[in-house]
Amino acid sequence: MVQILGICSSPVKDSNTECILKETLDSVQTDDVHTELVTLRGKTIQDCIQCNWCLLKQEEGKYCSIEDHMVELYPKIIAADGLLLATPVYLARLSGIMAAMLDRMRALDYGKRASGCLKHKVGAGIAVSWYRNSGVETTLSSLHWAFLTWQMIIASPGSISTFGGAAVSSLGGTGEFDPKDKHQVLKDEHGLETARATAANMVELAKIVKVGG
């Protein structure tokens, strides 16, 4: 049994990002692959204040000095074999709350007790942009930097999309949209395929890491 945790960082209710993440997680869900989707929408995740409490005073079960939504999230992240992070693309980068979450995950990399617990987990990303060329790659790349710095292992879908799941939320990425259909991401067949292929490789690697090839 492997555990894949999907985290969506769109602030929009019923968003395209959440929609593709759900589709993607469903595509890999089987008897021996357990998936969970967590949305950061409406949650409070404060910035890391670099107080170094986690380095010096971290306690069992208490990972960070700040008590907000991360309290709930830390154990889920620790329990996961694979982290599939889905974010909308804002100015060719992650949404703010995803960046805040990544910063706060410092407590799991450097923390006095939890140090290294991200090591050898599998990481992959999905990014959803409005326009076709608005920075999906830099967004996914910033996730890759975080994964690699935490000694995680990256799974990618290969040449169909170098960095992971990459989809558009307007019609064909043109900026046109159908006001009657909010979930344009579901019409981006190729985008969905990149996300599914990313997740499939993530699951394959997570199983290999957990039980050996």
Q: How far is the CB of 167 from other proteins (least distance, A)?
A: 17
Q: How far is the CB of 100 from other proteins (least distance, A)?
A: 21
Q: How far is the CB of 46 from other proteins (least distance, A)?
A: 25
Q: How far apart are CA 75 and CA 63, in angstroms?
A: 9
Task: Single out the residue of 31, 109, 117, 27 nearest to residue 81, CA to CA.
Answer: 117
Task: Single out the residue of 79, 73, 76, 81 nearest to residue 120, CA to CA.
Answer: 81
Report the C-alpha dihedral over residues 149, 130, 36, 67, rounded to 10 degrees. 60
Of the pair 42, 159, the CB lying nearest other proteins is at 159
Q: How far apart are CA 176 and CA 52, in angstroms?
A: 47
Q: Cα 126 vs. chain centroid, distance in angstroms?
A: 7
Residues in a beta bridge with 7 = 38, 85
Of the pair 179, 213, the CB lying nearest other proteins is at 213
Of the pair 77, 152, the CB lying nearest other proteins is at 152
Of the pair 46, 138, the CB lying nearest other proteins is at 138
Q: How far is the CB of 20 from other proteins (least distance, A)?
A: 19
Q: How far is the CB of 159 from other proteins (least distance, A)?
A: 5
Of the pair 58, 142, the CB lying nearest other proteins is at 142
Of the pair 16, 198, the CB lying nearest other proteins is at 198
Q: How far is the CB of 150 from other proteins (least distance, A)?
A: 7
Q: Footprint of other proteins on this chain (CB under 8 A)? A: 119-120, 141, 144-145, 147-159, 162-164, 201, 204-205, 208-209, 212-213
